[in-house]
Amino acid sequence: MIREAEVAVVGAGPAGSALSARLASQGRQVLCLDSEEFPREKACGDCLNPGGVAALRRLQAFDLAASGLERRPLRGWSVRTAQGPGFSAEYGRGLEGWGVRRRDFDAAMLDYAKGRGTRFLPRARVVEVLRSGPRVSGVLTRVDGRFRSVRARLVVGADGLRSVVARRLGLAITGSGRRKVALVVHLAGAASALDGLGELWVTPGACAGLAPLGDGSANLTLVRDVERNPGAESESPLRRSAWRELLQRFPGLARRLDGCERDGEILASGPFDRPVQRAFWPGALLVGDAAGYYDPFTGEGIYRALRSAELAEPYALEYLETGDVLSLAEYVRVLRAEFRVGRVLERFVLGVVNRSGLLASFAWAFHRAPGFGSWLLRRLGDA
pLDDT tens track for 281-296: 999 999 999 998 766 6
* Residue 164 binned pLDDT confidence (cut-offs 50, 70, 90): very high
236: pLDDT strictly greater than 80: no
| Fold of the CATH domain 2-44+104-176+273-343 | FAD/NAD(P)-binding domain (3.50.50)
Residues 192-209, mean pLDDT to the nearest whole number: 83
107: pLDDT strictly greater than 70: yes
Residue 59 CA to residue 140 CA, distance in Å, equals 30
Residues 103-130, mean pLDDT to the nearest whole number: 95
- Let me know the angle formed at the C-alpha of 104 by 21 and 14, rounded to the nearest 5 degrees: 35
User: Mean pLDDT in the chain?
Assistant: 85
234: pLDDT strictly greater than 70: no
pLDDT tens track for 338-379: 988 877 777 777 777 666 666 777 777 777 777 777 777 777
**Burial (0-12, 13-18, 19+ Cβ within 10 Å), 143:** middle
Q: What is the per-residue DSSP string for 298-358?
A: T--HHHHHHHHHHHHHHHHHHHHHH--HHHHHHHHHHHHHHHHHHHHHHHHHHHHHTSHHH
- CA nearest neighbour of 135 among 169, 170, 160, 173: 169
Cis peptide bond upstream of 271, omega within 30: yes
Which residues pair with residue 97 across a beta bridge? 74
Q: Which residue has the higher pLDDT, 69 or 19?
A: 19
Q: Are 203 and 82 spatial neighbours (Cβ–Cβ below 8 Å)?
A: yes
* Residue 148 binned pLDDT confidence (cut-offs 50, 70, 90): very high
Residues 59-71, mean pLDDT to the nearest whole number: 76
pLDDT at 1: 54
pLDDT at 144: 87
60: pLDDT strictly greater than 90: no
pLDDT at 230: 47
pLDDT at 254: 83
Domain boundaries, the chain: 2-44+104-176+273-343
Residues 72-88, mean pLDDT to the nearest whole number: 82
Residue type, 42: K
Q: Are 59 and 22 spatial neighbours (Cβ–Cβ below 8 Å)?
A: yes
Q: Are 59 and 108 spatial neighbours (Cβ–Cβ below 8 Å)?
A: no
Q: Which residue has the higher pLDDT, 250 or 364?
A: 250
pLDDT tens track for 252-307: 888 888 878 888 888 888 777 777 889 999 999 999 999 987 666 666 889 999 99
User: At 68, is the secondary structure helix, strand, or coil?
Assistant: coil
pLDDT at 84: 66
Mode of pairing for the β-strands spanning 218-225 and 206-212 = antiparallel
Give phi and psi for 85, each to the nearest 5.
-70, 155
pLDDT at 88: 82
Ramachandran category for residue 45: left, alpha or beta (phi over 0 → left; psi -120 to 50 → alpha): alpha
pLDDT at 232: 44
Q: Cα Rg for the chain, rounded, in angstroms?
A: 21
pLDDT at 139: 97
Number of Cβ atoms within 10 Å of the Cβ of 29 = 17
- CA nearest neighbour of 6 among 156, 152, 158, 130: 152
125: pLDDT strictly greater than 90: yes
Q: What share of the chain is helix, strand, coil (3-state, %, to 5)?
A: 40, 30, 35
Q: Which residue has the higher pLDDT, 166 or 297?
A: 166
pLDDT tens track for 14-45: 999 999 999 999 999 999 999 999 999 998 89
Helix axis angle for 370-380 and 356-368, nearest 10°, is: 110
- Let me know the angle formed at the C-alpha of 289 by 286 and 292, rounded to the nearest 5 degrees: 75
pLDDT at 227: 52
The model carries a pTM of: 0.90
Residue 311 CA to residue 296 CA, distance in Å, equals 22
Residues 82-101, mean pLDDT to the nearest whole number: 83
Residue type, 331: Y
Q: What is the per-residue DSSP string for 71-103?
A: -EEE-EEEEEESSS--EEEE--TT--EEE--HH
pLDDT at 294: 62
pLDDT at 14: 95
Helix axis angle for 102-115 and 14-25, nearest 10°, is: 10
